[in-house]
């Protein structure tokens, strides 16, 4: 039995897990945690079960027990497809290196791909592709985009929005399921899998393709999964041709700090921090704008849009 699987493979343990989920839904997280501990006595190597226990322990106010369960998850699943290291960081029990596990992000979006467009656009009012395109049009007018590289392209929402004015459009994502959905839209000239958390030479962005090839690089809602921005800013400066534009969005940390890991396990960044990091990588900020990215938990989620330019 794989320690990664979401079912324990044990009928009694699975039944107790179902009851625990029911109790948690009703708000009795302490009782849910007790049932999960009973289930894990039967299947002690079940990583997904330990991750669920950590959630119940945290919500019942037992932080140390949650931390212990998360460390058990990492012991059983070192590649960290569940994002236990991020959760430990949020709980203050692991260093904040700002680098989420790639396999966790890949699994998250592979699972989300089939319902992504309906859930994000129709239910949550996501509008970054439209608002970022509008901001871009304010600065370049009706000019054609010779070569656009869409980082974290997902199902192709931004690509579909910008295609009509783009001569050549590349899209890259970590999730193969998201890439399959983007391919169904038939708007990209090239799609490929790439890991934005890796250095340029191993990211998958430059296999048989030139550096400094893009007149525009986009990254809609990519910064949300990157606390440390070094990896993506290195990639962007390698991709952009002289005078090229980098257009991106991020959640707004406001006055809470430069980089904030939120309970959603997404990162938010402050305006000043983004401006400083762009300057360090030689990118001039052309525009930044506050916006509402989408609804989150029934409330508007504040974000920012940025246009930056590489020196000519």
The pLDDT tens digits of the residues spanning 174-228 come to: 999 999 999 999 999 999 999 988 888 888 888 768 889 999 999 999 999 988 8
pLDDT for 96 beyond 50:
yes
- Enumerate the domain spans of the chain: 11-95, 110-309
The rounded distance, in Å, linking the Cα atoms of 166 and 218 is 12
At the top level of CATH, the class of 11-95 is mainly alpha
| pLDDT band for position 1 (cuts 50, 70, 90) | very low
> In the chain, pLDDT over 70 holds for what percent of residues?
96
**246 closest CA partner among 154, 157, 153, 136:** 136
33-63 confidence digits (pLDDT tens)? 999 999 999 999 999 999 999 999 999 999 9
How many Cα neighbours within 13 Å face the side chain of 307? 18
Spatial separation of the C-alpha atoms in residues 279 and 294, rounded to whole Å: 28
- pLDDT single digits (tens) 5-34: 567 888 999 999 999 999 999 999 999 999
The pLDDT tens digits for 101-121 are 888 888 888 888 889 888 888
Characterize the bridge pairing of strands 299-309 and 284-296. antiparallel
Domain spanning 110-309: CATH superfamily: Vaccinia Virus protein VP39 (3.40.50.150)
């Amino acid at each position: 039995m794989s320690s990664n699987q979401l079912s324990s493979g044990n009928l009694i343990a699975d039944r107790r897990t179902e009851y625990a989920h029911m109790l948690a839904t009703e708000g009795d997280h302490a009782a849910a945690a007790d049932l999960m501990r009973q289930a894990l006595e039967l299947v002690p190597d079940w990583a997904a079960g330990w991750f669920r226990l950590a959630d119940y322990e945290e919500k019942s106010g037992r932080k140390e027990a949650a931390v212990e369960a998360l460390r058990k998850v990492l012991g059983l699943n070192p590649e960290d497809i569940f994002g236990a290291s991020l959760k430990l960081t949020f709980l203050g029990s692991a260093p904040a290196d700002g680098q989420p596990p790639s396999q966790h992000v890949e699994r998250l979006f592979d699972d989300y791909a089939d319902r992504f467009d309906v859930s994000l656009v129709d239910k949550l009012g996501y509008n970054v592709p439209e608002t970022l395109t509008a901001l871009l049009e304010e600065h370049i007018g009706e000019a054609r985009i010779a070569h656009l590289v869409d980082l974290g392209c997902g199902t192709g929402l931004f690509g579909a929005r910008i295609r009509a004015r783009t001569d050549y459009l590349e899209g890259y994502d970590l999730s193969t399921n998201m890439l399959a959905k983007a391919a169904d839209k038939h708007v990209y000239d090239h799609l490929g899998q790439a890991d934005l958390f890796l250095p340029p030479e191993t990211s998958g962005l430059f296999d048989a393709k030139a550096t400094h090839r893009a007149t525009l690089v986009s990254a809609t809602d990519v910064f949300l999964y990157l606390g440390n921005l070094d990896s993506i800013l290195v990639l962007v400066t390698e991709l952009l041709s002289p005078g090229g534009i980098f257009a991106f969005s991020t959640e707004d940390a406001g006055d809470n700090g430069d980089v904030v890991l939120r309970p959603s396990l997404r990162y938010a960044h402050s305006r000043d921090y983004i401006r400083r990091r762009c300057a360090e990588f030689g990118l001039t900020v052309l525009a930044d704008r506050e916006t509402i990215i989408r609804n989150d938990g029934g409330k508007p989620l504040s974000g920012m849009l940025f246009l930056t330019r590489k020196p000519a």
